[in-house]
Amino acid sequence: MARLNTLKPRIQPLKDGRLQSLPVVADRRITGRKLQDRRLKVWAKDPCCAVCRKLTEFPSGFELDHKVPLFKGGEDIEDNCQVLCSGPDGCHAKKTAEDLRGW
């Protein structure tokens, strides 16, 4: 039987035994029309994947990625965003897995 992956707990123990909750990233992330405007603006500047330079399609051929992830203290601003190709073997999936590995 396949083993299920589990999510990391939202509460982490400190060295002195107390509990510390992790920051909620969704509270700092833009959504809706503002997000779609940002996706178009970043893609229009450079429609190629920032890693492999593959040309991406708008709107579904790429992921808008944060260069410094929000959970690592990055800001949700346009200057911290880049286009990465999507899909299970895309650069976005690889970068996300790498970012989470070091967490």
Q: What is the pLDDT of residues 27-73, one digit of tens each?
A: 678 999 999 999 999 999 999 999 999 999 999 999 999 999 988 88
DSSP, res 39? H
pLDDT tens figures, 30-40: 999 999 999 99
Q: What is the reported pTM?
A: 0.72
Mean pLDDT score of the chain, rounded to an integer? Answer: 85
Task: Tell me what the mean pLDDT of segment 63-89 comes to.
Answer: 94
User: Do 85 and 64 contact (CB within 8 A), yes or no?
Assistant: no
In eight-state DSSP terms, residue 43 is: H
Q: How many CB atoms lie within 10 A of CB 49?
A: 22
- Give Cα separations from 90 to 21, 50, 72, 73 (angstroms): 31, 11, 22, 24
Pairing assessment for the beta strands 62-66 and 81-85 based on DSSP bridges? antiparallel
Range 12-26 average pLDDT: 61
